[in-house]
Amino acid sequence: MQTPFSLDSRLELCAGFVRAGAKLADIGTDHAYLPVALMLKKHISSAIAADINPEPLSRGKQTIDKYDLAHKIQVRLSDGLLAIAPDEVDDIVIAGMGADTIIGIISAAPWLKHRDKHLILQPMTKGERLIKYLYDNGFEIINQKACIADGKPYTVMLASYTGNEEPCDELFTYTGRLHPELYKEDREFLYLQSRILSKRSAADEQNARLSQMIIERIKPYDKD
């Protein structure tokens, strides 16, 4: 069967990190586009489409019913992962929320501190706080990519627990595991980080320094 709708490049990037055959939880699912697209491709074995609010959840249910997937994708009213048991999921997507909300969701589910669980995280704002939180709490970013959706750069990270609680340096919280030497989208995201920092820099010289360090990292590769 053809996928009847395509994901935008932001959700597509999230989808690309989900392991084949995984039991998926999509936290803050809203329309449930991500689990439905992955199930239609038969990429995942099961999914829970969860949301804290009933309205988005009922939108998600409509999408699931439209494609006749209610036997494969459960909808669940849940604040983060609170209504989800560890053995129900392998890969957990938390996308389209601010970093502080994502941090709150991870902190409230200590069972995520297990090497087998994969977190696929797409912070809308303050990604640097999320990266700091991950490294302070024994998680590591395994892979990270960026994309442009509706003309705006976004980043998605794949993280997992290692147990090494080694804080990362401040520059890394802004650059993460992106590859400005390889990808234009990664450079675009890093330019955005640099601009955000330089707007803050009037109040803080360290921000100005970080902003400049990011530019220096991108410049040699920016031939466009």
Ligand X SMILES: C[S@@+](CC[C@H](N)C(=O)[O-])C[C@H]1O[C@@H](n2cnc3c(N)ncnc32)[C@H](O)[C@@H]1O
The minimum distance between CB 135 and ligand X, in angstroms, equals 22
User: Counting runs of H as helices and runs of E as strands, what totals does the chain give?
Assistant: 8, 7
The minimum distance between CB 34 and ligand X, in angstroms, equals 7
Of 158 and 214, nearer to ligand X (C-beta) is: 158
- 73 in Cβ contact with 29 (< 8 Å): no
Burial (0-12, 13-18, 19+ Cβ within 10 Å), 203: exposed
The minimum distance between CB 22 and ligand X, in angstroms, equals 17
The minimum distance between CB 128 and ligand X, in angstroms, equals 19
- 127 in Cβ contact with 144 (< 8 Å): no
Burial (0-12, 13-18, 19+ Cβ within 10 Å), 134: buried
Of 79 and 88, nearer to ligand X (C-beta) is: 79
Of 45 and 125, nearer to ligand X (C-beta) is: 125
CA 184 – CA 145 distance, rounded (Å)? 11
Of 101 and 173, nearer to ligand X (C-beta) is: 101
The minimum distance between CB 205 and ligand X, in angstroms, equals 35
Burial (0-12, 13-18, 19+ Cβ within 10 Å), 170: middle
Binding site for ligand X (CB under 6 A): 11, 27-30, 50-53, 56, 79-80, 95-97, 101, 105
Of 51 and 218, nearer to ligand X (C-beta) is: 51
Annotate 35-61 with DSSP letters as a single string: HHHHHHTT--SEEEEEESSHHHHHHHH
The minimum distance between CB 51 and ligand X, in angstroms, equals 5
Contacts of 103 (CB under 8 A, 6+ apart): 129, 130, 133
Of 18 and 50, nearer to ligand X (C-beta) is: 50
